[in-house]
């Protein structure tokens, strides 16, 4: 259901005097006032002095309104409407046809006929000092008139009277209108008319409407026709939307979300904006074709961010399915986002993706997510190293064929593996599926065997357990020592998960203090992951290492964020 929201003021009332509906208080220059097609007699009647003299000399005596001989204002609007309300209530048959709601009649007619609105919230002033232009009595007249004429309900929303200047205090009014919009259902369609009331009321209503959480909103602008006013007919109205302002606000919010790598939040905002554009297009508010290019860019950005979201969830198949969707503009997607560089067969690197996410979660201080990704990185790195050293040859669903392995590496190394596992004997097959320690032990004997049988691979053994790394005053031998430095933190994370506990910065300090000799500090985790990824054993693509490990650029996500923001900023500047 559509709801009308409107200010009212002194120009929302005209009364018939000798055949013409004369505005009671219409003494300021109105923009876009159409004075064409007036007869000579109508031009005379519309003359401001003539109008005022008819109201003062004929209508005020009829209603018993006290007038003043001196001064610019001969009577107060509040006093006039109070007398008119009394007369209307006493003789509704006489006065109903003589009253015309001025500009508000056109606004209500538009709301009812085009949007099936049945009611309106009207902002009303009734100030404690009884200000001369208060709309309290005007509202009661209009409420009575619209219900009889159109069965349309006006619901009052009184401007607070806590202070004498509330109706002209912009800060107070902004807070008041904010609270009003906050109470509305965000799924409603609203029509807003800002005309009427004090200038501060008009500004506050406009600002809080466009800043509200109600996306489907239009502004109703009456095109005032003098001929219609004098005839007591509703003015035609134009529907407008501050859509460019709203778009810029949405895009700024999206940029803030992307600065925190919140792809899901950014997508939600942009999809909501997409639905608003569809709403505006369906209401014929915008010029034909005005938003065609904007929607095309929006679709492109949503697709790009959706792919990044899939990859952030480690869903490479989901990301590729978006690219291959018939609705996706693949050419533009690759032009702006370079996804083919990252996602084509042979280009995607899952370990680099996990490393990047570790960096992002560390940057965001999301410790639980960070340590979860560290654990995934650890497992993925070990599996990658096993694969590159031929370890899959002896595995079936992570169960080792012990006999085949013994024939390959010999009994001494097999016994060393048994000792590392703490087993008196090894059942055949021997499962290492659920233990990163077992996978690491298996990798250890594979690297040792390769170094024993091929002197050219001695460097692998050096990288594995000989080369020394220094972190926070402690020495770690090879990337095996780096993996062991991470074990402490992964175990802590697992304990917290099993105990349904959180991980605060205070607890991190405690864990740092209590860590064993072989463990690194929390802040050394990212540098250690970096050293593992740069190690020749991992064999990371050289270009990837230079761009995404040795620099601050994030694999996949930096380019996605930058391209999305650039497209949105281009869209904002082009229209």
pLDDT of 397-418, one tens digit each?
999 999 999 999 999 999 999 9
Whether the CB-CB separation of 442 and 480 falls below 8 Å is answered with no
Please determine, for residue 51, whether its predicted confidence score (pLDDT) is greater than 90.
no
Last residue of a domain, one of 189, 209, 240: 240
Whether the CB-CB separation of 264 and 308 falls below 8 Å is answered with no
Tell me, yes or no, whether 186 and 301 share the same domain.
Answer: no
Whether the CB-CB separation of 131 and 78 falls below 8 Å is answered with yes
The packing angle between helices 292-312 and 330-337, to 10°, is 70
Tell me, yes or no, whether 451 and 468 share the same domain.
Answer: yes
Tell me, yes or no, whether 482 and 355 share the same domain.
Answer: yes
d(C-alpha 211, C-alpha 245), whole Å = 9
Tell me, yes or no, whether 258 and 155 share the same domain.
Answer: no
> Going by C-beta distance under 8 Å and a sequence separation of 6 or more, which residues neighbour residue 368?
493, 496, 502, 503
Opening angle at CA 404, ends 537 and 444, nearest 5: 30
Last residue of a domain, one of 221, 240, 259: 240
> Going by C-beta distance under 8 Å and a sequence separation of 6 or more, which residues neighbour residue 257?
265, 266, 269
d(C-alpha 152, C-alpha 213), whole Å = 26
Assigned token pair, 138: 């005007």
Binned at pLDDT 50, 70 and 90, residue 50 comes out as confident
Please determine, for residue 71, whether its predicted confidence score (pLDDT) is greater than 70.
no
> Going by C-beta distance under 8 Å and a sequence separation of 6 or more, which residues neighbour residue 190?
2, 3, 4, 5, 184, 209, 214, 216, 217, 218
Assigned token pair, 86: 């009394």
d(C-alpha 294, C-alpha 278), whole Å = 12
Q: Where are the beta strands (DSSP E) in 125-280?
A: 153-158, 189-193, 217-223, 236-240
Whether the CB-CB separation of 113 and 150 falls below 8 Å is answered with no
Range of 424-433, 501-510, 520-529 with top mean pLDDT: 520-529
Please determine, for residue 574, whether its predicted confidence score (pLDDT) is greater than 80.
no
- The pLDDT, as a whole number, for residue 430 is 94
Q: For residue 102, is it within any domain? A: yes
Q: For residue 546, is it within any domain? A: no
Q: Are strands 153-158 and 14-17 parallel, antiparallel or unpaired?
A: unpaired
d(C-alpha 555, C-alpha 353), whole Å = 7
Whether the CB-CB separation of 133 and 242 falls below 8 Å is answered with no
Tell me, yes or no, whether 359 and 331 share the same domain.
Answer: no
d(C-alpha 284, C-alpha 163), whole Å = 42
- The pLDDT, as a whole number, for residue 567 is 96
Tell me, yes or no, whether 321 and 448 share the same domain.
Answer: no
Assigned token pair, 325: 């969707």
Q: CB-side exposure of 174: number of CA atoms within 13 Å?
A: 7
- The pLDDT, as a whole number, for residue 349 is 96
Tell me, yes or no, whether 332 and 414 share the same domain.
Answer: no
Tell me, yes or no, whether 325 and 388 share the same domain.
Answer: no
Distances in whole angstroms, Cα of residue 143 to Cα of each of 42, 78, 135 = 29, 16, 12
Mean local confidence (pLDDT), 295-324: 95
Q: For residue 56, is it within any domain? A: yes
- Write the secondary structure of 11-74 as one string of H (helix), E (strand) and C (coil): CCCEEEECCEEEECCCCCCCCCCECCCCCHHHHHHHCHHHHHHHHHHHHHHHHCCCCCCCCCCC
Dihedral (CA of 536, 537, 539, 540) sign: negative
In this structure, of 46-60, 251-265, 312-326, 374-388, the range with the lowest mean pLDDT score is 46-60
Mean local confidence (pLDDT), 357-383: 95
Whether the CB-CB separation of 148 and 96 falls below 8 Å is answered with yes
Range of the domain at 152: 2-240
Binned at pLDDT 50, 70 and 90, residue 432 comes out as very high
Tell me, yes or no, whether 21 and 155 share the same domain.
Answer: yes
What would you measure as the largest C-alpha separation in the chain, in angstroms?
120
- The pLDDT, as a whole number, for residue 49 is 83
- Number of folded domains that form the chain: 3
Q: For residue 209, is it within any domain? A: yes
Please state, for a pLDDT cut of 90, what percent of the chain lies above it. 76
Please determine, for residue 146, whether its predicted confidence score (pLDDT) is greater than 90.
yes
d(C-alpha 537, C-alpha 144), whole Å = 85
Q: For residue 282, is it within any domain? A: yes
Q: For residue 448, is it within any domain? A: yes
d(C-alpha 203, C-alpha 376), whole Å = 54
- The pLDDT, as a whole number, for residue 549 is 96
Task: Evaluate the omega torsion of the peptide bond into residue 567 and state whether it is cis, within 30 degrees of 0.
Answer: no
Tell me, yes or no, whether 400 and 530 share the same domain.
Answer: yes
Please determine, for residue 376, whether its predicted confidence score (pLDDT) is greater than 70.
yes
Whether the CB-CB separation of 218 and 191 falls below 8 Å is answered with yes
Q: For residue 555, is it within any domain? A: no
Q: Which residues pair with 99 in a beta bridge?
A: 15
Binned at pLDDT 50, 70 and 90, residue 436 comes out as very high
Please state, for a pLDDT cut of 70, what percent of the chain lies above it. 98
Q: Average pLDDT over the chain, rounded to whole?
A: 92
- The pLDDT, as a whole number, for residue 31 is 62
Q: For residue 554, is it within any domain? A: no
Please determine, for residue 532, whether its predicted confidence score (pLDDT) is greater than 90.
yes
CA-wise closest residue to 358 among 338, 348, 372: 372
- The pLDDT, as a whole number, for residue 460 is 94
Last residue of a domain, one of 217, 240, 263: 240
Tell me, yes or no, whether 338 and 236 share the same domain.
Answer: no
Tell me, yes or no, whether 453 and 338 share the same domain.
Answer: no
Binned at pLDDT 50, 70 and 90, residue 168 comes out as very high
Please determine, for residue 28, whether its predicted confidence score (pLDDT) is greater than 60.
no
The order of strands in the sheet holding 189-193 is: 153-158, 119-124, 2-7, 189-193, 217-223, 236-240
Binned at pLDDT 50, 70 and 90, residue 341 comes out as confident
Mean local confidence (pLDDT), 322-328: 89
d(C-alpha 558, C-alpha 230), whole Å = 63
Express each pLDDT in 443-480 by its tens digit: 999 999 999 999 889 999 999 999 999 999 999 999 99
Q: What is the dihedral of CA 281, 150, 11, 220, to 10 degrees?
A: 0
Please determine, for residue 15, whether its predicted confidence score (pLDDT) is greater than 70.
yes
- The pLDDT, as a whole number, for residue 552 is 87
Please determine, for residue 377, whether its predicted confidence score (pLDDT) is greater than 70.
yes
d(C-alpha 30, C-alpha 148), whole Å = 29
Assigned token pair, 172: 């107070």
Which position has the higher pLDDT, 282 or 361?
361
């Amino acid at each position: 259901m559509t709801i009308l929201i409107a200010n009212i003021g002194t120009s929302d009332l005209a009364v018939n005097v000798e055949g013409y509906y004369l505005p009671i208080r219409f003494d300021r220059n109105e923009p876009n006032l159409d004075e064409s097609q007036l007869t000579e007699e109508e031009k005379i009647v519309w003359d401001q002095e003539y109008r005022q003299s008819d109201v003062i000399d004929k209508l005020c005596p009829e209603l018993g309104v006290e007038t003043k001989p001196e001064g610019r204002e001969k009577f107060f609007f509040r006093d006039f409407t109070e007398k008119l309300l009394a007369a209307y209530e006493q003789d509704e048959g006489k006065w109903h046809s003589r009253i015309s709601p001025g500009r508000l009649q056109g606004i209500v007619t538009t709301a009812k006929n085009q949007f099936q609105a049945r009611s309106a919230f009207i902002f009303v002033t009734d100030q404690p000092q009884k200000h001369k232009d208060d709309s309290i009595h005007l509202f009661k007249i209009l409420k009575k008139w619209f219900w009889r004429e159109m069965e349309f309900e006006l619901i009052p929303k009184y401007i607070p009277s806590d202070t004498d200047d509330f109706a002209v205090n912009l800060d107070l009014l902004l807070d008041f209108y904010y609270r009003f919009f906050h109470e509305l259902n965000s799924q409603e369609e609203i029509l807003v008319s800002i005309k009427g009331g004090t200038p501060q009321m008009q500004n506050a209503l406009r600002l809080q409407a466009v800043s509200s959480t109600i996306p489907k909103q239009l502004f109703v602008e009456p095109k005032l026709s003098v001929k219609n006013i004098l005839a007591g007919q509703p003015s035609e109205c134009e529907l407008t939307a501050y859509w460019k302002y709203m778009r810029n606000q949405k895009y700024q919010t999206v940029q803030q979300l992307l600065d925190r790598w919140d792809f899901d939040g950014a997508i939600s905002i942009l999809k909501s904006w997409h639905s608003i554009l569809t709403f505006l297009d369906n209401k014929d508010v915008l010029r034909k074709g005005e938003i065609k290019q904007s929607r095309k860019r929006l679709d492109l950005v949503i697709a790009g961010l959706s792919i990044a979201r899939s990859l952030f969830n480690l869903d490479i198949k989901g990301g590729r399915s978006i690219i291959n969707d018939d609705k996706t503009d693949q050419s533009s997607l690759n032009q702006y986002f370079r996804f083919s560089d990252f996602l084509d067969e042979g280009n995607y690197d899952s370990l680099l993706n996990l490393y990047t996410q570790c960096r992002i979660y560390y940057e965001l201080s999301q410790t639980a997510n960070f340590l979860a990704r560290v654990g995934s990185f650890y497992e993925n790195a070990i599996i990658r190293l096993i694969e590159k050293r031929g370890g899959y040859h002896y595995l079936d669903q992570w169960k080792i064929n012990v006999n085949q392995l013994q024939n390959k590496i010999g009994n001494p190394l097999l016994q060393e593996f048994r000792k590392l596992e703490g087993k008196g004997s090894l059942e055949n097959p021997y499962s290492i599926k659920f233990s990163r320690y077992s996978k690491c032990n298996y990798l250890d004997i594979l690297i040792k065997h390769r170094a024993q049988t091929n002197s050219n691979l001695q460097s692998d053994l050096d990288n594995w357990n000989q080369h020394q790394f220094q972190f926070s005053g402690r020495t770690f031998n090879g990337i095996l020592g780096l993996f062991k430095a991470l074990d402490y933190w992964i175990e802590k994370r697992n304990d917290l998960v099993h105990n349904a506990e959180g991980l605060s910065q205070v607890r991190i300090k405690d864990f740092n203090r209590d860590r064993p000799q072989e463990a690194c500090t929390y802040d050394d985790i990212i540098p250690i992951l970096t050293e593992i990824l740069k190690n020749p054993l991992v064999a990371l693509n050289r270009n990837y290492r230079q761009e995404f490990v040795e620099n601050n650029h994030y694999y996949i996500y930096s380019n996605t964020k930058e391209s999305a923001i650039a497209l949105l900023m281009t869209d904002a500047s082009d229209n």
